[in-house]
Structure 1
């Protein structure tokens, strides 16, 4: 089989997103630093975080059917351009003295909407760009891309913020424009022709929800992802505040998040091999127990460096989790339904994030860093227990067999 890296369209799409993901990691590091430097309020930082993740709750469901019926290449391009314009408004506002937290909330919301549409279009297009036998490898490469960006982005974002508060947002805006140019050179058709007339938007969204709900293994997987996303979305804000209270500067916090992300990058490289030898069931159960064991260790830290090292261990197992679950979905779900199914799943798994951002700000305000860490550790322990006891997880087939048997959803009446 031809090497994945000789696939022109995949390489072009992957390379453009390296630049865009790096820019996003730079600005996402600077965002809570900018809020805390402006108002000093963890709750304000939580509000901005909630604004950025709210589109996952309200836009995912309608975006899926649109990704299945609209031109995916055009969706990718428009998403990059709109996000660039929104991000570039931040440095202009800072330099002119007109910056407000309300503006940052609006920019974060727009960027979140673009992220939803881009992510769904990219996920649905990937099986059209690479052959089935290379899908897991391509997903692992995408994991390495995003993890590499979150490794390099935080130290750069922290350092740039220390030089000029506007610089991280300027760099991110430019990165979106560069990625948009790369999309103009894609050649391959990114979607299959629709079969029959398009469903009404509401019915199409319900189709995706039914597919997820009627497949017990996908349903259980999405619920477990939702729990972990809630925990880690809130955890990042908690760790930033904790590091600041331990004497960390903006650069120290950026380096801490970079060390945290280094574990994810190493995990992404390992996931490309481990997914072939570790069973689906072992991943679904084992990763949750690893997280449940590691989270309480943050309570023992005394420096940002220690926080980063423990975070790196939690991040190491994340890519294997993502590769296994999303490879299963990419193999089992028909491509013409993939946008709808992924949007339904995303509504659940990413929709918890605005709630988590607000919860993180409220927990820090009411319970401090210690109470917040204990609460998040308890949630993660509950998820690990649920994964262990889930009948569908215990009966999960090997990943190699997933595509050779019909899913529960495919044999039901959900799509008729």
Structure 2
């Protein structure tokens, strides 16, 4: 990249950072457009909706009159979102919009005629712009509702509002690990939840399914999440964490409410997976593109009914293995004839995704849409999946490496 190209890239970045400090979340698309305009580009930001079916145009871009939504299936923008690969379409360049490995949507860049999108200076400029835009969305969204409201396509229940406010971002990546979760129905969920974290080289993973399909069930799930996070932050092990959840749920609901779940700890340096299963469907192990086994150990009584006792099971993962945690709302989803979606279909979808080398979040998006379609769009129970990909190097593929030369 020559000096003039580097100076222009720096000017775009400086303009963005100067402009974004006092911008509320709803003004971020306009900040991106103004920064892109310094290099003669137009820019529009599209955010994915909660059901991950469409990309919704955020107001404030240039030119100002785009389509309101673009379907993910069958569009160039949708392919960029699915595959996380920039694509050109004439003088338009579509770029993934990410924070780390979490997918927010895409940016549409309208380039001057004759611009070469593979030119190193152009690549460097759009990479920096998209990187900073993604980070700013993650940082600014908690301070306002504008972008959150844009992603909504229908009304959300109070129970769902509470639970979604407690969930972590759907996707996380660090060296050697990608974790991705999904939960449906995203507008009316009640009692499923998932969580993850990485502390001192250990990934902490959990999926929970509380009793009830109303606000009370959501409260049980919320207390379970709080007890789980409190235990993790206090440095407690799996036994002690289960005991803490037993105490929190059991005392508050007098042993009348309970939670099934899987709690796991994955050592990133070695692939050692330790887990406890409290009355929950056994996780699946995907190896070399095939579901090779159910992780059936670590059984104990339901959370909220026990005393923390039980066994901790152990499994040693191999590089590129997937550990798949899920709730029974996936396998027990029924079609109009009463047929279950079932474990076989779940395994088939995971294996097809592995064959196609799909990123974990795209695997879960397609899986959940298939589960919803199986029930004609109406779930009888909440459905949740959490996938951990260990030591795969996939975390490095969520954004192309900088162009050399």
TM-score over 0.5 (shorter chain): no
Larger proportion of helix: 1
Larger proportion of strand: 2
Q: Which has the larger radius of gyration?
A: 2
Q: TM-score, normalised by structure 1?
A: 0.25
Relative contact order, higher structure (CA 8 A, sep 6+): 1
Q: TM-score, normalised by structure 2?
A: 0.25
